[in-house]
Structure 1
Amino acid sequence: MPAANEIKYSVVVPVYGNEGSVESVTRRLEEVALQLDGRLEVVFVIDGSPDRSGLVLEKVLPAATIDSQLVYHSRNFGSFAAIRSGLAVARGEMIGVMAADLQEPPELMLSFFETMATGEFDVVVGRRESRDDPALSSFLSRSFWNLYRRWIEPEIPRGGVDVFGCTRDVARQLLTLGESHSSLVGLLFWVGYRRAEVPYSRSRREQGKSGWTMHRRIRYLLDSVFSFTDLPISALTGIGAGGMALASIVVFVGWWTDRIAVGGYTPLMLTILLSTFSLLYGLGVVGSYVWRTYENSKGRPASIVMSNKVFDRALD
């Protein structure tokens, strides 16, 4: 239980190309702080931003009515690296994470903190009910998160996760998982804990341009696939086994029904096809061993103990 003068809530905000909105973010979070029962700090992480975002915050934050931290990355490492840097220095017992473009309302932090304050949940994610985005952007985002749900994490909300909150314990566990080329969202669901969803409507981006390009989406999806599933290996093994069976049946049936008139065609095709699919199958089997070695090299804990309740027998 934090003391009255200690920071109880933190909000981590990664910043890249948000010069036009960071001041508004600060003002709206100041209004959020007025409705909380404890001190709120905001941790801005300048992720190698090419604009004047850092200079604007250096001017705004000293006069703000909330506590704050301003963290600079040496270069652009990506929003998930920026979030990790923010989680590492956040001082609150409850921590929210949001973008600096105001597409997710800062007031959503109130709902996150209220939900966690009940003591029933450790992680809260925003569930996007609607979005005021251009048609192409909406289509690409829906397609991306649909693939993510199908291939990687079926429990993730249909609209994906762009904003979330967690307790300090959860943040500490996330920081112990020092994996590169992974997915922070995937790790957030991997660690488990008691999770809740809060619905919200996503607003249209008013300032700047999103850095969430198609290239970044594909890279992130691939990082997630290789970090959390054995889908490529399973597909390779399945193609090899299925291809061997299908090729054998097709060629044998063709020979049996006299549809193959060329002499020597049947043994030649069987040799080529069976050799090819045998190699694919073998690669799948070897890949399964490599996958398990890779999984062990990550150093993730075999399990996470969320709590440990002790009930001692009363002594007479």
Structure 2
Amino acid sequence: MPKLSIVVPCYNEQESIPLFYPAVEKVVNKMPVEVEYWFVNDGSADKTLDELRKLHQQNPDKVHYVSFSRNFGKEAGLYAGLEATTGDYVVVMDVDLQDPPEYLPIMYKYISTGEYDCVGMRRTDRTGEAKFKSFLSDKFYDVINKVSDTKIVNGARDYRMMTRQMVNAVLSLKEYNRFSKGIFNWVGFKTKYLPYKNVRRIAGTTDWSTWKLFKYAVDGITDFSEAPLSIATWIGGMSAFLSILGLIFVIVRRIIEPSSSAFGWASMVCIMLLLGGLQLMCIGIVGKYIGKIYMQTKQRPIYIVKEKK
């Protein structure tokens, strides 16, 4: 019988875990697969670890968990979960049940035929989300698909079922700064997306603020595109070109109208601030990439395990 591994990253989800497990069990018990769960406690500050210990004690052969020494982020949790799995197929799910378990049999139906290496879920709407956050999410997909060779489907979730071959390919990428949505697409393999309507959290509150999502989006763009570096180069080139034109204009005007006065200190200050701001922005873009190189060369582990069962 094929084995299905379920990876569930958790951060401060003590309320969701007792609801998640029975809801998923109700579905997978009807599927022709052997199931194992791998919960990853990402340094939670609440009683998430206690809930995972209870689940493991009740189902020691089926439920397992990895607990980090501190919070390393969802990407690290996802990577740790994938590393721990032993199944022929692996599915990644959020513990808040925003990833509907009822789609698991449909995903398995497609992937078990051998025609697809991955079956993912794609949200067709963002009901329940703040409009501004939804707007930023849509724009992120527009931007990254224009500047990157790795295309990401708008609304695609981490919720997906993958073959062991694809999971091994994902794990072979040892980069410290990880953006899984991009990695899943970069490794290739044939993927089918199933549309579904957005589902609200069953319990608790999300830790993903607008600012965190923005930082995550910036990391995604810089991880899978060199376009920001090209933009910085173009900005620098255009600034230099406009400065030369301005210098020529001032010289020519002085020759034609010797009595003409300067434009004034206010205009000069504005020009200096503009050029200085552009330079700092370009340095910041370059610094972002250098920072990623710096973290990668340190070869720090993606996560540190404190407890594993």
2:243 maps to which residue?
247
Greater displacement, 80-89 / 124-133:
124-133
CA distance in 2, matches of 1:72, 1:132: 32
Q: Residue type matched to 1:17 in 2?
A: N
Match status 1:90 vs 2:85 = yes
CA distance in 2, matches of 1:160, 1:250: 48
Indicate which of 160, 164, 179 corresponds to 1:164. 160
Q: How far off is 1:223 after superposition? A: 2.2
1:203 maps to which residue?
199
Match status 1:102 vs 2:97 = yes
Distance 1:228 1:134, change over 3 A: closer
Distance 1:107 1:148, change over 3 A: farther
Question: Partner of 1:19: helix, strand, or coil?
Answer: coil
Number of residue pairs aligned between Structure 1 and Structure 2: 277
1:31-77, CA deviations, whole angstroms, 9 ceiling, x for partnerless residues?
Answer: 22123212111111111112222222332344459822122111111
Q: Does structure 2 conserve the Cα–Cα contact (< 8 Å) formed by 1:111 and 1:198?
A: no
Question: Partner of 2:44: helix, strand, or coil?
Answer: coil
Question: Partner of 1:133: helix, strand, or coil?
Answer: coil
1:115-142, CA deviations, whole angstroms, 9 ceiling, x for partnerless residues?
Answer: 2112121122211112332334434433
CA distance in 2, matches of 1:161, 1:150: 20
The structure with higher relative contact order (CA 8 Å, sep 6+) is 2
Q: Does structure 1 conserve the Cα–Cα contact (< 8 Å) formed by 2:88 and 2:163?
A: yes
Matches within 5 A, 1:16-165: 16-63=11-58, 67-136=62-131, 137-152=133-148, 155-165=151-161
Question: Partner of 2:12: helix, strand, or coil?
Answer: coil
Aligned Cα RMSD in Å? 3.4
CA distance in 2, matches of 1:140, 1:17: 25
Aligned residues with identical type, % of pairs: 29
Q: Which runs of 5+ in 1 are unaligned?
A: 299-316
Q: Does structure 1 conserve the Cα–Cα contact (< 8 Å) formed by 2:9 and 2:94?
A: yes
Match status 1:179 vs 2:169 = no
CA distance in 2, matches of 1:80, 1:46: 12
Q: TM-score, normalised by structure 2?
A: 0.77
Q: Does structure 2 conserve the Cα–Cα contact (< 8 Å) formed by 1:11 and 1:42?
A: yes
Question: Partner of 2:50: helix, strand, or coil?
Answer: helix
Match status 1:222 vs 2:218 = yes
Distance 1:132 1:196, change over 3 A: same
1:172-208, CA deviations, whole angstroms, 9 ceiling, x for partnerless residues?
Answer: 1211211112312211111111121111122112311
Question: Partner of 1:81: helix, strand, or coil?
Answer: helix
CA distance in 2, matches of 1:87, 1:17: 20
1:258-283, CA deviations, whole angstroms, 9 ceiling, x for partnerless residues?
Answer: 589348x9xxx9xx99xx79x96xx8
CA distance in 2, matches of 1:75, 1:294: 23
CA distance in 1, matches of 2:235, 2:40: 45
Q: Structure 1 runs of 4+ off > 6 angstroms?
A: none
Q: Residue type matched to 1:170 in 2?
A: M
1:12 maps to which residue?
7
Q: Does structure 2 conserve the Cα–Cα contact (< 8 Å) formed by 1:18 and 1:53?
A: yes
CA distance in 2, matches of 1:259, 1:81: 66
Greater displacement, 110-119 / 246-255:
246-255
Q: Does structure 1 conserve the Cα–Cα contact (< 8 Å) formed by 2:158 and 2:180?
A: no
Q: Does structure 1 conserve the Cα–Cα contact (< 8 Å) formed by 2:20 and 2:97?
A: yes
Distance 1:162 1:259, change over 3 A: farther
